[in-house]
Structure 1
Amino acid sequence: MADPLPDTLLLVQTRRMPTGEIDGELMALDAAAGDVLGLDVIGTQLWGLAKEPVTLGAMIDWALQHYDVAREAAETDIRRFVGDLLDAGLLERAQ
């Protein structure tokens, strides 16, 4: 298993894919792969935090403030989610 993503990882939305929201859920078109990607409401909110560079730790803190979730669960789920978005090309490491 790869090392977990650090809380200090700085993330930002990529601008390579056209995106839009439908009923509070993000839809993104990956034209190169011929895929449409979708995020649920919470995923869309987390992705929205990265409109400007944001740390992974700040995303976790945001979830803890807005949802009734245990820290360990939030850390695990958001690290996995961010890893998936990095792999999908919806997030990138900010400079």
Structure 2
Amino acid sequence: MSDIGPDTPVRLRPGAVSWREVDGEVVLLDLTTSAYFGVNASGTLLWQMLDAGTTPADMTGALVAEFDVDRDRASTDVEAFLAEAQRLNLVEV
């Protein structure tokens, strides 16, 4: 995630995925590869934020507030989540 800093705006790449929330978790389809993915409750929060457009700093703050984790852990989780989404070409900076 070297090109995404804490205050870098990031969002879902338009037309990259189709997604739905099912029983509190996000299920998504990569429209390019036809691969299906599912994310847990914390991933669902992050995914919804990406859909609206956000920053890694705001995502970290949301995890801290919603799941009562320390900021360092939340930041590491956000970095990993965004790195994977970027690797899959699902987000744009």
Tell me if TM exceeds 0.5: yes
Which segment is superposed worse, 71-80 or 13-22? 13-22
Equivalent residue for 1:39? 39
Q: CA contact under 8 A between 1:18 and 1:28: conserved in structure 2?
A: yes
Query: 1:50 is matched by which residue type in structure 2?
Result: L
Q: How does 1:1-95 map to 2 (within 5 A)?
A: 3=2, 5-16=4-15, 17-93=17-93
Runs of 4+ in 1 over 3 A off after TM superposition: 2-5
Looking at structure 1, the residues matched to 7 and 64 of structure 2 have their Cα atoms a distance apart, in angstroms, of 17
TM-score (norm: length of structure 2): 0.83
Query: 2:73 is matched by which residue type in structure 1?
Result: A
Query: 2:24 is matched by which residue type in structure 1?
Result: G
Superposed CA RMSD: 1.9
Larger of the two Rg values belongs to structure: 1
- Quote the offset at 1:11 in angstroms: 0.9
Structure 2, unaligned runs of 5 or more:
none
Query: 1:40 is matched by which residue type in structure 2?
Result: N
- Quote the offset at 1:4 in angstroms: 7.3
TM-score (norm: length of structure 1): 0.82
How many residue pairs get aligned? The number is: 92
Structure 1, unaligned runs of 5 or more:
none
Query: 1:5 is matched by which residue type in structure 2?
Result: I
Looking at structure 2, the residues matched to 4 and 72 of structure 1 have their Cα atoms a distance apart, in angstroms, of 19
